[in-house]
């Protein structure tokens, strides 16, 4: 996953990402709609930006 995120950030959240991204099954991920990704970005365990989760 490359989008400017630090490696440590990805390691910290990999289990949550594995769950919400269907074990990284690209066939399933390809069928996701934009609103699913929008909801994921609001999920505290996956929040990327400092404003979304205190302490980042």
Residue 9 lies in a domain: no
Cα–Cα distance, 27 to 51 (Å, whole number): 32
Contact by Cβ (8 Å): 5, 14: no
Based on the structure, what is the number of domains in the chain? Answer: 1
In this prediction, residue 3 carries a pLDDT of 58
Residue 34 lies in a domain: yes
Residue 40 lies in a domain: yes
Residue 43 lies in a domain: yes
Residue 36 lies in a domain: yes
Residue 6 lies in a domain: no
Residue 19 lies in a domain: no
pLDDT tens, 1-56? 455 667 777 788 888 888 888 999 999 999 999 999 888 878 766 665 544 444 44
Contact by Cβ (8 Å): 46, 17: yes
User: Can you give the residue range of the structural domain that contains 34?
Assistant: 24-48
């Amino acid at each position: 996953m490359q989008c400017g995120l630090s490696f440590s950030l990805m390691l910290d959240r990999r289990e949550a990402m594995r769950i919400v991204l269907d074990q990284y099954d690209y066939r399933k991920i390809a069928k996701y709609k934009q609103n699913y990704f929008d909801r994921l970005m609001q999920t505290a365990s996956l929040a990327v930006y400092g404003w979304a989760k205190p302490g980042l």
